[in-house]
């Protein structure tokens, strides 16, 4: 089966995620409206600016439909701002920022610092074989607290930066920027085998 995986196309690295999904054998589609969301087997929430994305989800009337699909078991993957959106709670966010609640985690926004503090490092990630993954952190969050069902897949500076809870995956970093498709391949496998992801 060729999974159809949407990329939330309101802001952020949409093109790069679509290319990475195509490389792992999925059919990537841009999602801007509910009718497009209804056609996908999984959803990528890209990096960008989390408060803006939260507002745009409401403006495009996608917040509740995305929340409902994730609560119903649809696989989802969030990178950077996408991780923030998927969290149960965000620290240092705006008071009006809305969460999707797909992950039982507390995330600290911009935890690694401002744009000038962006960095790259190599990470060993549980579930990904071979060489370490080159991880690009740009105004990145980290996970401050995880619930009992959350598996920590990787850490940087002592903090969780890749986590998974059943069919939901999130990274603080941007794998779509490096040309290494292994994080997307992991997510594609989760979409193809929902029973294995649970």
Residues taking part in catalysis? 80, 174, 176
Name the nearest CA neighbour of 48 among 18, 21, 80: 80
Residue with tokens 């080159």: 134
Which H or E run contains 84? Answer: helix 81-86
Distance CA 4, CA 18 (A): 11
Neighbours of 37 (CB within 10 A): 20
**Signed CA dihedral, 148, 149, 154, 159: sign only:** negative
Distance CA 24, CA 19 (A): 9
Beta bridge partners of residue 31, listed in sequence order: 8
Q: How many residues does the chain have?
A: 198
Q: In degrees rounded to 5, what are phi and psi of residue 5? A: -120, 125
């Amino acid at each position: 089966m060729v999974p159809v995986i949407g990329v939330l196309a309101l802001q952020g690295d949409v093109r790069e995620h679509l290319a990475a999904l195509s490389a792992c054998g999925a059919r990537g589609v841009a999602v801007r409206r509910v009718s497009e969301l209804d056609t996908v087997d999984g959803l990528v929430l890209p990096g960008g600016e989390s408060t803006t994305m939260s507002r745009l989800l409401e403006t495009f009337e996608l917040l509740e439909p995305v929340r409902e699909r994730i609560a119903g078991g649809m696989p989802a993957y969030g990178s950077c701002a996408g991780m923030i959106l998927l969290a149960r709670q965000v620290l240092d966010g705006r008071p009006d920022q809305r969460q999707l609640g797909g992950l039982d985690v507390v995330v600290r926004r911009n935890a690694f610092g401002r744009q000038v503090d962006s960095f790259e490092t190599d990470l060993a990630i549980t579930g990904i074989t071979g060489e370490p993954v080159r991880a690009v952190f740009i105004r990145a969050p980290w996970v401050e607290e995880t619930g009992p069902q959350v598996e920590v897949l990787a850490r940087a500076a002592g903090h969780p930066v890749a986590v998974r809870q059943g069919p939901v995956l999130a990274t603080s970093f941007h794998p779509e920027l490096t040309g290494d498709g292994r994080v997307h391949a992991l997510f594609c496998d989760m979409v193809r085998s929902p029973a294995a992801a649970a």
